[in-house]
Homo-oligomer: A and B are copies of this chain.
Amino acid sequence: MAKTGERTRAVSGSALDGLPFALDRSSPVPLYYQLAQQLESAIEHGALAPGNLLGNEIDLSTRLGLSRPTVRQAIQSLVDKGLLVRRRGVGTQVVHSQVKRPLELSSLYDDLEAAGQGPTTHVLRNERVPAGPDVAAALGIAEGAEVTRLERLRSAHGEPVASLCNYLPPALFDLDTERLEATGLYHLMRATGITLHSARQTVGARAATAEEAGRLGEEEGAALLTMQRTAYDDTGRPVEYGTHIYRASRYAFDFQLLVRG
């Protein structure tokens, strides 16, 4: 698979001694990105251990045959990911973390699937309704405008886990019930060319009503996790509003926060 412009350089000095870096100038993949990926995998594989210095950027760039800004761009992307720390007058070192995973916009379906829980979805409703005041406010549309309303029950191991109610703005296509039962909502949206960018969530708890308890297989009064979420695409337009309830005995939210600079 080697392309024409490829070359490998063994970098010497500091903690990068002997590590091979293969930069392919004929690849459409940006050089800074190639370097960032190789540094990241070196860190994950332990070739670069926590606390190791990376060596100064000038040397690194001449040794790799790159300019300093390009090397900086690669390093910066890893700093943003929380894998490296820069200290002026000291150098760049690998972070001491046991933390590996950054956060994702948590998709319940993906979470369950990743945990090998064999998630299934039952679509209870898939219809068009006029937007109520809360939905209209969340989606930034007029009250009474038509939206798609989706009610789903999600199970794992045949046991109900969560009851999901979502509203989608009118511009969004009709959702195929069959495909909704086969995968998560976010997967479907991504496949339609929507790129999710951010979401605002409120997580709380309350006791189950008799109706909710029946639907989820809990006792009345059992603790439930509640979540309301509005998701936005990369232009900042709301693309989904949802109200979800989870059986607290079977699910908890797990996520990582980064302090913004």
Contact = CB atoms under 8 A, between A and B. Distances in A.
A102 to B, nearest CB: 5
A243 B128 CA distance: 43
A197 B259 contact: yes
A202 B102 contact: no
A27 B251 CA distance: 52
B105 A198 contact: no
Interface stretch (A91-99, A117-125, A164-172): A91-99
Interface string A231-253: 01011111000000000110111
B256 A196 contact: no
A247 to B, nearest CB: 9
Interface residues of A, number: 53
Q: Which of A104, A223, A238 has the most CB of B within 10 A?
A: A223
Contact of A105 (B222, B236, B259): B259
A106 to B, nearest CB: 7
Interface stretch (A7-15, A56-64, A204-212): A204-212
Given A80-B80, A198-B257, 17 more contacts: A85-B235, A96-B237, A98-B238, A105-B258, A105-B259, A196-B259, A198-B256, A199-B256, A199-B257, A202-B252, A202-B253, A203-B203, A205-B223, A207-B207, A207-B223, A223-B223, A223-B224
